[in-house]
């Protein structure tokens, strides 16, 4: 099963592409798809997005339970350092352990002796508790230690927890007052804002990922190839816009939305049929084993076989049946809801450019690698970017859309090894083809 391989969707596809570039193709024994062909590759992508979607659903269900527990003050996530989980009268409790008692001291050192975090870290090390500097700051900021629960599922709400307090709220507030005097929240660096395509864009001449730099005097950012002799230097703004234009060519036009969803559902139906076929086969096997068990019993009753032999085979057959029972839900779940999956994919496809523009550095990089598993290449002489590979699902959508004739995308064929995608430079309309 491909969802055994990974359920993280985009990331799974990324890993798959990485393997593919090494000549390794993922094979699923129960979903015999040839990953080396373009249609097989497409199917695998769909499977993975599907698995990801199932996973999201599961997570949502699971999150509802977690949220409910958190509201009651029960901490059910990973236990923070300084606590032990114990069970009293069938109830799980979080209590302060010996490490916690040492951490409690650190809070007091900060308030009473005005030690900074580093000093606290080294003093803790002296009494046998190793904590990194970063971890120390996280501990000082975690309201869990003064008995409160905060969790992103609670959407900013603080709940009085049922766990043992390490320190009072007063001490916690005092420590954080001190901490806040010299602290900054997470901010994107100017580098991350200005050169999101760093490393992702490769120099076409030597294949090295471009790095970036800034001319501070003018506050202008550039991408650059560091290899000797390449002399590639490109204004970051121009290359970012170029990339944006490439994305624009893959955007699903809202007027094609309904039709595209239908086309995708047809694709999914093919896949569901495969799933249904697998379910049918498994159920048949299960029945066949029932038959074997019956015959076995008859033979044992008529003393054709010994008790040892009888028990041995019963166990073997029962194990086979258990395995089938474990496998079945996977097939049935995987083909659960093609409509929702089509909706999910088309909503991504409509928003590619917006998603990229509005994302922070990390999500930009993720999306880039998701869509262009091998990165893109920039050629200094032509001023063009090209890529050898594009995410097959989104390419499929772009091609279908091209077929509809309502939006020209000019991507020549699915055979990406042959047709490197090429985009026009700068502000001109983007064109594809070699």
Residues at the interface with Zn ion (CB under 5 A): 203, 205-206, 225, 227, 230
CB-nearer residue toward Zn ion: 292 or 380:
380
Q: Crossing angle, helix 98-113 and helix 133-141, to 10 degrees?
A: 80
Own/partner pairs for 272-275, CB < 8 Å, 24+ apart? 272/335, 272/338, 274/31, 275/331, 275/332, 275/334, 275/335
Shortest Å distance, C-beta 224 to Zn ion: 9
Shortest Å distance, C-beta 238 to Zn ion: 18
Those residues whose C-beta lies under 8 Å from the C-beta of residue 42, and which sit 6 or more positions away, are 392, 393, 396
CB-nearer residue toward Zn ion: 131 or 232:
232
Shortest Å distance, C-beta 218 to Zn ion: 24
Residue 434 near residue 419, CB atoms below 8 Å: yes
CB-nearer residue toward Zn ion: 165 or 205:
205
CB-nearer residue toward Zn ion: 212 or 275:
212
Give the separation between CA 223 and CA 232, rounded to whole angstroms: 8
Shortest Å distance, C-beta 229 to Zn ion: 8
Shortest Å distance, C-beta 104 to Zn ion: 56
Please give the distance of CA 183 from its chain centroid, rounded to a whole number.
30
162-195 burial string, b = 16+ CB within 10 Å, else e?
A: ebebbbeeebbebbbebeeeeeeeeeeeeebebb
CB atoms within 10 A of CB 431: 14
CB-nearer residue toward Zn ion: 201 or 349:
201
As given in the structure block, the two tokens for residue 329 are 């839900």
Please calculate the CA angle 122-124-125 and round it to the nearest 5 degrees. 60
Shortest Å distance, C-beta 383 to Zn ion: 15
- Taking alpha carbons only, the member of 283, 277, 251 closest to residue 348 is 251
CB-nearer residue toward Zn ion: 67 or 205:
205
Give the separation between CA 255 and CA 15, rounded to whole angstroms: 33
Across the strands, what pairs with 422?
A: 386
CB-nearer residue toward Zn ion: 225 or 398:
225
Give the separation between CA 42 and CA 48, rounded to whole angstroms: 10
Shortest Å distance, C-beta 387 to Zn ion: 16
CB-nearer residue toward Zn ion: 153 or 230:
230
CB-nearer residue toward Zn ion: 231 or 322:
231
Shortest Å distance, C-beta 347 to Zn ion: 37
CB-nearer residue toward Zn ion: 7 or 202:
202
**Rounded to 5, what percent of the chain is helix, strand, coil?**
55, 10, 35
Shortest Å distance, C-beta 344 to Zn ion: 38
Distance separating the N- and C-terminal Cα atoms of the chain: 38
Shortest Å distance, C-beta 261 to Zn ion: 42
Give the separation between CA 149 and CA 72, rounded to whole angstroms: 10
Shortest Å distance, C-beta 215 to Zn ion: 20
Residue 148, SS3 per DSSP: strand
Give the separation between CA 36 and CA 19, rounded to whole angstroms: 11
CB-nearer residue toward Zn ion: 103 or 195:
195
Across the strands, what pairs with 201?
A: 376
Please calculate the CA angle 162-111-156 and round it to the nearest 5 degrees. 40
CB atoms within 10 A of CB 387: 20
């Amino acid at each position: 099963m491909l969802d055994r391989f990974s359920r993280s969707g985009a990331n799974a596809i990324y890993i798959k592409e990485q393997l593919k570039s090494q000549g390794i193709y993922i094979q699923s024994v129960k979903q015999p798809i040839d990953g080396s062909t373009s249609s097989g590759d497409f199917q695998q992508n769909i499977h993975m997005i599907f698995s990801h979607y199932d996973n999201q659903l599961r997570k949502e269900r699971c999150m509802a339970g977690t949220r409910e527990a958190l509201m009651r003050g029960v901490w059910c996530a990973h236990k923070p350092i300084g606590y032990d989980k114990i069970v009293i009268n069938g109830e799980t409790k979080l209590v302060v352990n010996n490490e916690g008692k040492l951490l409690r001291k650190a809070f007091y050192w900060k308030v009473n002796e005005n030690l900074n975090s580093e000093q606290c870290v080294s003093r803790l090390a002296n009494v046998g508790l190793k904590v990194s500097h970063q971890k120390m700051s996280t501990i000082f900021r975690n309201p869990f230690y003064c008995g409160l629960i905060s969790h992103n599922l609670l959407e900013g709400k603080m709940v009085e927890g049922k766990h043992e307090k390490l320190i009072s709220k007063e001490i916690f507030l005092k420590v954080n007052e001190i901490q806040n005097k010299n602290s900054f929240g997470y901010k994107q660096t100017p580098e991350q804002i200005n050169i999101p395509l760093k490393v992702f864009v490769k120099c076409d001449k030597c294949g090295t990922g471009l790095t970036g730099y800034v001319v501070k005097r003018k506050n202008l950012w550039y991408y650059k190839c560091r290899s000797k002799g390449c002399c590639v230097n490109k204004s970051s703004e121009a290359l970012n816009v170029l990339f944006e234009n490439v994305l624009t060519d893959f955007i699903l036009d809202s007027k094609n939305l309904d039709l595209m969803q239908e086309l995708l559902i047809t694709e999914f139906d093919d896949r569901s049929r495969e799933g249904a076929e697998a379910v049918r086969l498994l159920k048949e096997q299960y029945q066949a084993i029932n038959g074997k068990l019956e015959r076995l019993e008859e033979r044992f009753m008529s003393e054709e076989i010994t008790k040892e032999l009888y028990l041995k085979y019963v166990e073997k057959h029962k194990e086979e049946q258990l395995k089938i029972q474990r496998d079945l839900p996977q097939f049935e779940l995987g083909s659960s809801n093609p409509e929702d999956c089509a909706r999910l994919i088309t909503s991504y496809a409509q928003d590619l450019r917006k998603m990229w523009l509005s994302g922070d550095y990390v999500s930009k990089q993720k999306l880039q690698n998701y869509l262009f598993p091998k990165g893109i290449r920039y050629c200094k002489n032509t001023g063009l970017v090209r890529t050898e590979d594009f995410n097959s699902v989104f390419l499929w959508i772009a091609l279908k859309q091209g077929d509809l004739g309502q939006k020209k995308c000019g991507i020549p064929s699915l055979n990406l090894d042959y047709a490197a995608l090429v985009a026009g430079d700068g502000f001109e309309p983007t064109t594809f083809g070699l």
